[in-house]
Amino acid sequence: MSRALFSPALLATELALPRPVSRDTEDLENVEGCSPTARVADAKAFRKTSKAACSPYQALPIQGPLVTVDNPGPASDQITHHLTPALPVLEPEDGLRKDLDERIVKVINDYKERLTERTKHHLGYPYNLDFDFSALEGLQRFSINNLGDPFIESNYGVHSREFEIGVLQWFARLWEIDQDEYWGYITNCGTEGNLHGILVGRENLPDGILYASHETHYSVFKAARMYRMDSVKVDTLANGEMDYEHFRTVLAANVKRPAIVNVNCGTTVKGAVDDLDRVLDILWETGYSEDRFFIHVDGALFGMMMPFIKKAPRVSFRKPIGSVSVSGHKFIGAPVPCGVVITRQKYVAALSSDVEYLNSRDATIMGSRNGHAPIYMWFTLTRKGYEGMRKDVERCLRNAHVLKSMLDQAGVKAMLNELSSTVVFERPREEAFVRKWQLACEGEVAHVVVMPNVNMAILEEFVTDLIASRTRHFLQAAMKVASDARAAHSDDSDED
């Protein structure tokens, strides 16, 4: 093909590519939407309105009435509507670059202050916020990308595959699978690990039905929808664990089709652990041989904790499981979301294909993959080692028990599963309190997930605050009864 065929002008007209905005191209001034000055004006106008702007979708009521300060009692199944304000992209005022730089510094400094405060008052989500990666300063200058298969280097040389494989080896040892039998990669999060695990199950057992309990993380049923799989929701027991008898019943009803089973190693809200051995027994008793089932273990949080608890059932590839996933930013802690998924090498072939452009193999959910994440994980695992992790787990379980006892003493109904550091308690009624401590609520309950950064001082401050909030709420409720009674009998005097 001649060079003329590749001229940008030809591409722009024939393929209707967007017109480039060039500051020295006079004629673009006249093209609608392409003029640099029009764009600056547009941006300025947008800045004025964007704070309040929200699309019809964003303004849709989500479920139930809006929860406000005047209406502080959220009902179950209701989410509150805190619409996100925009921070418009800045434009230099009259071309003053220096002024713009100063404004950027102020925005970032204010933001850092907010992050520091929000980090101090966070108890609801299972994130370890205690880490120090200052030794890794400078890496931010590199666009580190592990695109493709971790074990097969692409031509892109700015990668961190050696760290990634090191971390995978660490997890392979933790979950007891031989180095030459596993395959895995560092994901963007626990959700991606679940999407991958279920996909591996589906690709190996294409006619399989997905079984997962009601209290399973939403990403597992999302996988079923994405892959157009039939799925069955299994009932749960009061503590959040799978109802095994219900599992047996639904499995028996579909015995002709293979089973892809999600086993929870710590449910999102109650921290419940499904009994893997019991699930396996039920599969065998119902007539399933190993080639007709695939088990994915969702260990987003506890997959990292259970191997360090003596009494806990073992998450191990010595049992016939297909894959395990965990989040890296949860128990380990990282400044970016990340995770790990490990499966058996024999299973991954079903979804692998060579991609010449990558000069690697495609078997992951994503194409480009965060190359910084493996370095954060490698760094923390190296510095703490198995022993450091074990100590973190021990401290979290101890502090969770202390919190549960403090709540018991304060008259707040609370529950703590035996192998868990997730303390479940009555949903606080004051929305402002929930927001202050960034609590995750569902129905009538809220929880605190005790992570390595949660120390006794934080728990004391939290419980003090909770008692004050409850006192305010109950006092207000009691006084409302009194004022309603006064209004109903306004002709009665106090003496009566």
Ligand X SMILES: Cc1ncc(COP(=O)(O)O)c(C=O)c1O
How big is the site for ligand X, counted in residues (CB under 6 A)? 17
Q: 265 vs 403, which CB is nearer to ligand X?
A: 265
285 in Cβ contact with 249 (< 8 Å):
no
Three-state secondary structure call for residue 36 = helix
Distance CA 149, CA 155 (A): 12
By beta carbon distance, the residue nearest ligand X is 190
The DSSP call for residue 19 is: P
Distance CA 419, CA 309 (A): 8
Q: Which of 258, 339, 371, 452 touches ligand X (CB under 6 A)?
A: 339
CA-nearest of 369, 410, 342 to 148 is: 369
CA-nearest of 236, 231, 235 to 211 is: 231
CB of 75 to ligand X, least distance (A): 23
Q: Which of 154, 213, 219, 422 touches ligand X (CB under 6 A)?
A: 219
Three-state secondary structure call for residue 425 = strand
DSSP annotation string for 231-298: EEEEPB-TTS-B-HHHHHHHHHHTTTS-EEEEEEBS-TTT--B--HHHHHHHHHHTT--GGGEEEEEE
CB of 333 to ligand X, least distance (A): 12
CB of 211 to ligand X, least distance (A): 16
Which of the following is catalytic: 219, 420, 421, 469? 420
CB of 338 to ligand X, least distance (A): 8
Q: Which of 268, 380, 422, 453 touches ligand X (CB under 6 A)?
A: 268
Stretch of 8-16, 98-106, 264-272, 426-434 lying at the interface with ligand X (CB under 6 A): 264-272
Q: Which of 144, 167, 189, 363 touches ligand X (CB under 6 A)?
A: 189
Residues 373-392 that bind ligand X (CB under 6 A): none
Q: 339 vs 374, which CB is nearer to ligand X?
A: 339
CB of 221 to ligand X, least distance (A): 12
CA 121, 125, 126, 129 dihedral sign is negative
- Show the binding pattern over residues 284-323: x = contacts ligand X (CB under 6 A), - = does not: --------------x-xx----------------------
Residues with Cβ within 8 Å of residue 6, at least 6 apart in sequence: none
Residues with Cβ within 8 Å of residue 188, at least 6 apart in sequence: 337, 338, 339, 366, 369, 370, 373
Q: Which of 122, 159, 202, 217 touches ligand X (CB under 6 A)?
A: 217
Distance CA 98, CA 92 (A): 9
Q: 65 vs 335, which CB is nearer to ligand X?
A: 335
Two tokens, residue 19: 């017109």
Tell me, yes or no, if 420 is annotated catalytic. Answer: yes
CB of 451 to ligand X, least distance (A): 12
Q: 74 vs 299, which CB is nearer to ligand X?
A: 299
Q: 208 vs 337, which CB is nearer to ligand X?
A: 337
Distance CA 194, CA 200 (A): 10
Contact footprint for ligand X (CB under 6 A): 126, 189-191, 194, 217, 219, 264, 266-268, 298, 300-301, 327, 337, 339
* Catalytic center residues: 420
